[in-house]
Structure 1
Amino acid sequence: MTSRGAAPIARRRQAFHPLLTSSPTDAFASAKGLPIPERMSDEFEDPDDERAVDFLHTFIDGLTLQASMFPDRLDPQDVSIGLDRFLSALLADPAET
């Protein structure tokens, strides 16, 4: 891909949701107030956080695939709403649910 093609793709990703401009791991760590891992092989201390990031990766992959295959059924606002709801559920305090 040329550098000219990178900017439009980044703008489209950001139009879907700001989370899509960073890695799900970094976004999760930032939202939870955890240190952002320096390497991909770094893991969170809490196994529940590791599972949550795995779920987030899977959810984003599925949502991206659906939005790519069915753009007439899933617009950027739907993607943003879906991500916001999923993140809210992941970050919710279990005592409050």
Structure 2
Amino acid sequence: MVEIFTPYLLIILGWNDLSPDSTMAMSHELHISEEICMEAGAERLAQIEADRAKNLEKFKVERLKTETAKFFCVPQPRAIQKYRPLQDDQ
């Protein structure tokens, strides 16, 4: 068995400033390095912005002007903690 550790979690948040509570959306992906994670985040935000601009031209809806998104690359912990209440000393 081969284990692959993917240490960076890409988190993308999207929301509308007019109604942030009801429009908050989140997605996540794992990446092998911080550089790759940052590239993937920038690429994904460019796709989101292109889609928003296309929809704004097509539908002329005021809500589309206030949509925004942001991404973070978060390092993941390298140590795995095991929960073994019957085997660990207390």
TM-score of Structure 1 vs Structure 2, range by shorter chain: 0.3 to 0.5
Q: TM-score, normalised by structure 1?
A: 0.37
Structure number, greater radius of gyration: 2
Higher helix share: 1
Higher strand share: 2
